Amino acid sequence: MDDYDNAALWPDFRHHCIVNNVMPVPWYTHSDELWKCPTDADNVIGEIEGGGDREGFLNSVGLLTHSPNLAIITDWNGFRDSSGVIVDEWCKPFRDLKVTCISESYLPDGPTHSPDHDEFIAKDQAQFYKYMPAFGCYLGKPQSTKPGEEFTLADYSQWINDPAWWVWSAETVL
C-alpha cells in the first residue's frame, strides 16, 4: 500500500494480507500524506529520506483521524547532517512519538546497509526505541546494483529469526 492513488486497493490488499498471515500496513513514500492512512489500518509507515520528509511526517501525524502505530522507513539521509553524522534533535521528535524505526537494510547497497550496521545506527546513534530491518527483494526477484551480485530473501537468512522484519515490495510477492 502506498501513496500513489492506491487507496481503492486497500480493502483487497488488507484482506489478502490477513488471510496470508501478513501484517497489512500502508507505506507512504511522501510522508506528508500520512494523513491519508485508512482508518482501519492499525499501523502506518512514512518514508524519511530527507529533511522535508521529516517535517512532512511530523506535520501529517497531527492530521490523522485515528491513532495507528507509527513507523518510519529510512535510508538515514533524513537524519544525517552534511558531514554524515546522525543529528539527535532531528531524531528526538520521533522518539517522543515512540515511532518504530525500519531501516532500508538493502545488502546490494554495500556493507553499510546491512541489518547489523543499521541496528547500530538506530539503537546507538539515533536511539530509537524499536528497530526492524527491511530487506530489499524487489518484485520477489533478485535485485542488485552491480551485475553478477544478486540478492534474494535467502541472503538475509541470518536475520529472518529476528522478532520482526519487512520485505520491500512484499505486496508484489503475495
Residue 3: band (very low, low, confident or very high) from pLDDT cuts 50, 70, 90: low
State how far the Cα of 90 lies from the Cα of 166, in Å rounded to an integer.
24
* Grid cell for residue 122: 538506530
Whether 171 has a pLDDT exceeding 50, the answer reads no
pLDDT at 132: 86
Nearest to 4 by CA among 27, 35, 23, 38: 27
CB 71 within 8 A of CB 47: no
Are 44 and 35 in contact by the 8 Å Cβ rule? The answer is no
